[in-house]
């Protein structure tokens, strides 16, 4: 394990100081700058460059913050080449794509969500319809699909040929105790003899949070979830307070990465509450990640050095236009647009990846 860089050390020290009690950022001695926007802002996971651009373009035309965020992530949901979200997403262990999403609208304090939704390319839009057209917050599985049908959402086979081929390769190579066999002409290492190593599982997702010039906030998180999951598995993305939380007076936050870890610490809610207590968005993200690292006790989820063998990222924006993002492990990026052109910036981090 490499020694922490000075930057990483400062971040870790700051978070350690913050872990005991939520204190204003001035007491943390944290030297990292936090970005700020005067005008409209959209922040997203790294796969959200086009999403943030679309959201900003729409807000400039006067669109509502939630409509702008949803239109942004729809680009990724409908992209067959993004295997972590919507159409083209990697399926569950039975080869069926099940999607999760939630939305929160700051000005009205509205929330809606769907989980384990099949056959609909844009679960974020269904989540918004749950918010607008029901007295509920979360619909799941068959009920969510019937609700989407009732509202005229078109049904599609979400499993693209490419995603099916990737799933089939996994099916044929993940166990030597079943009857699925890797073809003899398969190239690459014999995956049957490979042990699962750190960072084996992927949890692709897009989160996008928006703020307009009035300081109104919204957010959306949408995903096909953990690839090859047990059918019915629901991650953090459709859980209000885990994969997304918006308080229009304080800030908005969302997550990507290992959803089970985020759910256990009520991740996005923890980030927003840390901002309420005075932390900057970036410090608040690090604070929540530190809690995840502290709460990861299962040896199965730990590296030899005791650190988590998975990653989680949080993204956050405050009411006053400050923004930041952080990951457990170094090297991550996030997408940001502060009114001009979307760009990637580096996430802060807890630990430097060797
Ligand atoms: N964060 C996405 C998931 O765990 O499903």
Q: Is residue 75 part of a domain?
A: yes
Q: Is the CB of 207 under 6 A from ligand 1?
A: no
Q: How confident is the model at residue 198 (pLDDT cuts 50, 70, 90)?
A: low
pLDDT at residue 28 tops 50: no
pLDDT at res. 202: 64
Q: Is the CB of 257 under 6 A from ligand 1?
A: yes
Cα 218 to middle of ligand 1, angstroms: 20
Supply the pTM of this predicted model: 0.87
| Number of domains into which the chain is organized | 1
**Pairing assessment for the beta strands 333-337 and 343-346 based on DSSP bridges:** antiparallel
Q: Is residue 320 part of a domain?
A: yes
Mean pLDDT, residues 255-268: 97
CA atoms within 13 A on the CB side of 344: 9
Q: How far is CA 316 from CA 61, 97, 176, 195, 224, in A?
A: 23, 28, 43, 36, 22
Q: List, in sequence order, every residue forming a beta bridge with 220; answer none if it has no partner.
A: 103, 208
Which of 33-47, 50-64, 232-246, 333-347 comes out lowest in average pLDDT? Answer: 33-47
Which atom of ligand 1 is nearest the CA belonging to 235?
Answer: 5
Q: Is the CB of 12 under 6 A from ligand 1?
A: no
Q: List, in sequence order, every residue forming a beta bridge with 16; answer none if it has no partner.
A: none
pLDDT at res. 194: 38
Q: Is the CB of 225 under 6 A from ligand 1?
A: yes
Please report, for the chain, how many H helices and E strands are present, in that order.
Answer: 9, 14
Q: Is residue 24 part of a domain?
A: no
Q: What are the pLDDT digits (tens) for 56-76?
A: 999 999 999 999 999 999 999
Q: What is the rounded CA–CA span in Å between residue 84 and residue 331?
A: 19
Which atom of ligand 1 is nearest the CA belonging to 100?
Answer: 5
Q: Is residue 22 part of a domain?
A: no
Q: Is the CB of 267 under 6 A from ligand 1?
A: no
Mean pLDDT, residues 77-88: 87
Cα 225 to middle of ligand 1, angstroms: 5
pLDDT at res. 192: 39
Name the average pLDDT for the chain: 87
Q: Is residue 113 part of a domain?
A: yes
Q: Is residue 27 part of a domain?
A: no
Q: How confident is the model at residue 33 (pLDDT cuts 50, 70, 90)?
A: low
Cα 274 to middle of ligand 1, angstroms: 22
Mean pLDDT, residues 277-287: 98
What percentage of the chain reaches a pLDDT higher than 70? 85
Of 160, 205, 221, 256, catalytic: 205
Cα 224 to middle of ligand 1, angstroms: 8
Cα 123 to middle of ligand 1, angstroms: 14
Cα 343 to middle of ligand 1, angstroms: 24
Q: Is residue 165 part of a domain?
A: yes
Contact (Cβ atoms closer than 8 angstroms) between residue 103 and residue 67: no
Catalytic residue at 187?
no
Per the structure, the complete domain to which residue 264 belongs is given by 35-351
Mean pLDDT, residues 130-151: 98
Which atom of ligand 1 is nearest the CA belonging to 258?
Answer: 4
Q: What are the pLDDT digits (tens) for 145-185?
A: 999 999 999 999 999 999 999 999 888 888 777 778 777 65
Q: Is the CB of 226 under 6 A from ligand 1?
A: yes
Q: Is the CB of 224 under 6 A from ligand 1?
A: no
Q: What is the rounded CA–CA span in Å between residue 51 and residue 7?
A: 30
Q: What is the rounded CA–CA span in Å between residue 43 and residue 321?
A: 11
Q: Is the CB of 235 under 6 A from ligand 1?
A: yes
pLDDT at res. 183: 74
Q: Is residue 21 part of a domain?
A: no
Contact (Cβ atoms closer than 8 angstroms) between residue 148 and residue 128: no
Q: What are the pLDDT digits (tens) for 95-106?
A: 999 999 999 999
pLDDT at residue 13 tops 50: no
CATH value at residue 282: 3.60.20.30
């Amino acid at each position: 394990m490499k020694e922490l860089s000075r930057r990483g050390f400062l971040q870790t020290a700051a978070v350690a100081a913050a872990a005991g009690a939520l204190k204003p950022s001035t007491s943390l001695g944290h030297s990292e700058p936090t970005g700020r926007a005067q005008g409209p802002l959209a922040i997203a996971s790294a796969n959200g460059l086009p999403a943030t651009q679309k959201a900003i373009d729409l807000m400039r035309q006067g669109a509502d913050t939630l409509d702008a965020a949803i239109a942004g992530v729809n680009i990724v949901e409908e992209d067959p080449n993004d295997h972590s979200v919507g159409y083209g997403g990697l399926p569950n262990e039975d080869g069926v794509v099940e999607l999760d999403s939630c939305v929160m609208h700051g000005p009205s304090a509205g929330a809606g969500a769907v989980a384990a939704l099949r056959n609909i390319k844009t679960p974020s839009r269904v989540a918004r319809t749950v918010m607008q057209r029901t007295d509920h917050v979360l619909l799941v599985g068959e009920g969510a699909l019937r609700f989407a049908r009732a509202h005229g959402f078109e049904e599609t086979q979400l499993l693209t040929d490419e995603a099916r081929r990737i799933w089939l390769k996994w099916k044929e190579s993940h166990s030597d105790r079943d009857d699925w066999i890797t073809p003899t002409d398969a190239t690459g290492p014999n995956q049957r003899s490979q042990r699962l190593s750190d960072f084996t599982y992927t949890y692709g997702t897009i989160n996008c949070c928006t703020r307009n010039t009035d300081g109104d906030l919204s957010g959306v998180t949408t995903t096909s979830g953990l690839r090859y999951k047990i059918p019915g598995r629901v991650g953090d993305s459709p859980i209000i307070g885990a994969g997304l939380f918006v308080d229009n007076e304080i800030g908005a936050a969302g997550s990507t990465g290992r959803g089970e870890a985020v759910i256990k610490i009520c991740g996005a809610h923890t980030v927003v509450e840390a901002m309420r207590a005075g932390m900057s968005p970036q410090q608040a993200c690090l604070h929540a990640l530190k809690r995840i690292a502290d709460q990861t006790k299962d040896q199965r989820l730990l590296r030899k050095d005791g650190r988590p063998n998975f990653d989680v990222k949080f993204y956050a924006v405050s009411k006053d236009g400050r923004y930041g993002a952080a990951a457990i492990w170094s090297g991550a990026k996030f997408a940001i647009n502060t009114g001009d052109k979307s760009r990637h910036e580096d996430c802060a981090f807890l630990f430097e990846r060797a």
